[in-house]
Chain A
Amino acid sequence: MRKWVLPITIVCIISGLLLSLQFKAQASLSSNPIGQRNKALVELIQNLEQEIVKYQNELTSLREELENIENNKASGQEDIQKLQQKVQKAKLKAGLLSVKGRGIKIILDDNKAGLNANPNDDPNRYIIHYENILNIITELKLGRAEAISINGQRIVTPSEIRCVGNVILVNTTRLAPPFEISAIGNPDFLEEVLISGEYDLLKGAGFPVSYTKYTKENPLEIPAYTGTFQFNYVKINE
């Protein structure tokens, strides 16, 4: 009898401790006031995100409708057609139209294996940060990328890449790993800047990263920017 009392007791104490820890972790998410407030905030964020997607879809279809009406009503009007071509060209450069072409697609993911192997390390060392993405984008521009997107978010001139806490945001849209960065351009140039920069550092640090080159026959497609451009302060200097 006595022989097993001690080990069982120890084991019970440990599992009791773990159980209470587990409960504490759960409880802090649901029942304490801060947890409750955060839960409400998370719901609010999710609702806002859904509404934004709905508005963006509406905006895309309204933009198309307007363009179609203008096209139909103006067919045969030379000056209007010229203006329309100018607008179309400018939209292409601004990132308001989907494009395709040769390029490269990069996939970056958090280093979950590394964290599992070193559970006591700072987990921040094993996740992709916005700086990593910003650096890769900066390098892709050096490689003459003509269009770039991250998880379907088109990078336009005023696009920001940032984080709030550990959440990465591009065009105020929340992105989750794995991060898929697509860039249209000469795949060899893009590859060259990629493998001598941030990508290589991440690879060296054990992050699961990979890239694929796309040819003319098998082109990469990058979606249009679905957001708005706001101009409340800037004016053309006539």
Chain B
Amino acid sequence: MIQMQKKSWQLPITIVLVFLGILLSAQLQTQTRVLSDLSMQKTEDLITMVRNLTEKRFQLEKELEDIEGKLIALKNSNSDELNIINNLRAELNKLEIINGTKEVKGPGLKVIISKDSPILYIDIVSIINELWAAGAEAISVNDTRIDYSTVFFYTETENSMFITLNHKPLTFPIIIKAIGNPNTLEKGLTLPGGIIDNLALFRAYPYLEQEEEIIIPPIENELVLLEAELVRK
């Protein structure tokens, strides 16, 4: 009789426990489901993404139109040479701005970091990163042009620490200059929870100044590619 009774509740309990186990694991899965999944993001973040992607699509459209125009002109023209030379010169001009081989000017933003700011090399990297994200078109730090190979690090002496830029100590005040839309650049740094808010937590208060004209010098040493070679198609 006792045996029978035991058996009569074993089955339902087992079923319920199995069911519970499945539910629990499903629950855990929803929890660990990639936090980076789009459906897990906040509405305002999704809106920001839509805005950025729309801007990117617009830029691509513009560049596509530009190249299509060049192609048509080249196909229909008799003065090929002049056309080609003009195209190449325009392209080279653009590439020289990208590579930083020419001095450039334009409106923009100055970020001034004074001597009493507790700031690390990674903070300078972050500010530059945010300026690019806000649409900066050229950047310098203490009049050294920034390109993709610029090295930021630090060096320590017995009683102090220096931020280094291309292995040379950066002296205060550190002045970061960026060419671009001055308002957009400033907003990129000062948005709530942005880099300026973050630095304030560490009692660093960079001073921002919009400028009508900023001049940024060319890079000092052009990077020589020793390892990277062209992939020929």
Show the binding face of A for B, using Cβ within 8 Å.
Answer: 3-4, 7-8, 11-12, 14-15, 18-19, 21-22, 25, 29, 34, 37-39, 41-42, 44-46, 48-49, 51-52, 55-56, 58-59, 62-63, 65-66, 69-70, 73-74, 77, 79-80, 83-84, 86-87, 90-95, 97-103, 110, 112, 115-116, 119, 123-124, 127, 134-135, 138, 141-142, 144-148, 155-162, 164-169, 172, 174, 176-177, 184-186, 221-222, 227-237
- A196 and B64 CA atoms in complex are apart in Å by 44
The answer to whether B126 and A134 touch across the interface, beta carbons within 8 angstroms, is yes
5 shortest interchain CB distances as A-B pairs:
A4-B9, A160-B133, A165-B45, A90-B95, A165-B41
A interface majority secondary structure? helix
Chain A residues in 8 Å Cβ range of B97: 229, 231, 234, 236
Type the 1/0 row for B117-152, where 1 means its CB is closer than 8 Å to any CB of A: 000011001100110110111100000001111111
Interface residues of B, dominant DSSP: helix
Proximity string of chain B (44-60) to chain A, C-beta cutoff 8 Å, 1 when within and 0 when not? 01111110111111011
Q: Is B102 within 8 A of A141, CB to CB?
A: no
How many angstroms from the CA of A77 to the CA of B88 in the assembled complex? 13
Q: Inside 8 A of B229's CB, which chain A residues have their CB? A: 99-101
Chain B residues, Cβ within 8 Å of A93: 95, 99, 222-223, 225
When distances are taken between beta carbons in the complex, the residues of chain A under 8 Å from B93 are: 236
Query: Are B225 and A146 within 8 A (Cβ)?
Result: yes
Which residue of the partner chain B has the closest CB to A137? B125
Identify which of B89, B96, B138, B228 contacts A100 (C-beta below 8 A).
Answer: B228
Given contacts A45-B49, A80-B84, A94-B95, contact A162 B60 (CB under 8 A): no
Taking a contact as CB atoms under 8 Å apart, the answer to whether B91 and A87 are in contact is: yes
| Complex Cα–Cα for A165 and B46 (A) | 8
Given contacts A227-B60, A234-B137, A237-B103, contact A83 B88 (CB under 8 A): yes
Q: Decide: A39 and B50 in contact? CB cutoff 8 A.
A: no
Q: Are B32 and A116 neighbours in the complex by a CB distance under 8 Å? A: yes
Given contacts A25-B30, A146-B226, contact A52 B56 (CB under 8 A): yes
